[in-house]
Amino acid sequence: MSSHDVVWIWLLKKKWGLMAKAVLIMLILLVPRTVIDYYNLDVVSINTVVGAFISGAIFTIAIIFTGTFTDFKESEKVGGGSGSGTQGIV
């Protein structure tokens, strides 16, 4: 394998690595969700309000973790604090 091949593999992994991880996580989460739907084990039905709440929470977390709060001095601490808080819950 030449150094040129290694560079291409590195670029491919850098470009598509996050997408591959997201697809893998989605597939892992899809299995229990399919089982829950198949056996009608839903505790809370997913309606428009619950869907909007989940979408809003994911959007807010994405904004925090991407560091788009560049106007605030404490914005860089938000990601680490949220991550450590989330890890502490688990």
For residues 65-87, give the mean pLDDT.
Answer: 62
For residues 16-34, give the mean pLDDT.
Answer: 87
Q: Using CA atoms, how far apart are residues 68 and 70, in angstroms rounded to an integer?
A: 5
Answer whether residue 71 shows pLDDT above 60.
no
How far does the chain reach from its first CA to its final CA, in angstroms? 42
User: What pLDDT does residue 30 have?
Assistant: 92
Answer whether residue 28 shows pLDDT above 60.
yes
User: What pLDDT does residue 23 have?
Assistant: 86
Query: Which has more pLDDT, 31 or 45?
Result: 31
For residues 51-69, give the mean pLDDT.
Answer: 79
Among 34-38, 42-46, 48-52, 86-90, the range scoring the smallest mean pLDDT is 86-90
Q: What angle do CA 23, 24, 30 make, to 5 degrees?
A: 85
